[in-house]
Amino acid sequence: DIQAVSCGYDHTTCLDKDGILYSFGWNVLGQLGLAQSVKQKLSPSNIDDLPPICLLSKGGNHVIVQDIDGNLWAFGDNKKGQSGLGHTETSWHPQQFPQEFNSIVGKPSIRVKSARK
C-alpha cells in the first residue's frame, strides 16, 4: 500500500507502508536514487540503498527522506548544495546527511517540505 507520493519535474517517488521507497521517470540528475547508467524507469523501481523510510520530500530534481531512526538521506541534483550534504556534486545514490545535522534533527518529529519560488 502506497502511503505517500511526491512528484518532481520529470520523476515521481512513492513510499509504501513498510518504509520502502520507489521511484520512476527521468534520471538525468540522480533524482531516482538509482545508478547513473539508468537514464529512465517507466515503472516504479525500489531504491535498495535505504533503511525503512517514514517521511518523503522532494524538490524539482532532488529527494530528501527521513528514516525511522531520524536520519536524513538525500539524492539527486545538488549543484547549489540544495541536498544539504556538504558538497555540490550530484548524488546518484542516497547519501546520509552529515552526522552533526542528524544529531540536531533527532527522532522523526518534523516534516520537511520543499518549495520552488
Q: What is the DSSP string of 86-113?
A: SS-S-EEEEEEPPHHHHHHH-SS-----
pLDDT digits (tens, 9 = 90+) for 64-97: 999 998 889 999 999 998 888 888 999 999 999 8
Q: What angle do CA 5, 76, 67 make, to 5 degrees?
A: 55
Residue 88 CA to residue 4 CA, distance in Å, equals: 28
The pLDDT of residue 114 is 42
Query: pTM score, two decimals?
Result: 0.83
Task: Quote the strand ranges of the chain, DSSP E.
Answer: 2-7, 11-16, 21-26, 40-46, 53-58, 62-67, 72-76, 91-96
67 forms beta bridges with 53
User: Which among 41, 58, 38 is positioned nearest to 115, based on CA atoms?
Assistant: 58
The pLDDT of residue 102 is 52
List, in order, residues 6 or more apart from 113 with CB less than 8 Å away. Answer: 57
Phi first, then psi, for residue 5 (nearest 5°) are -135, 135
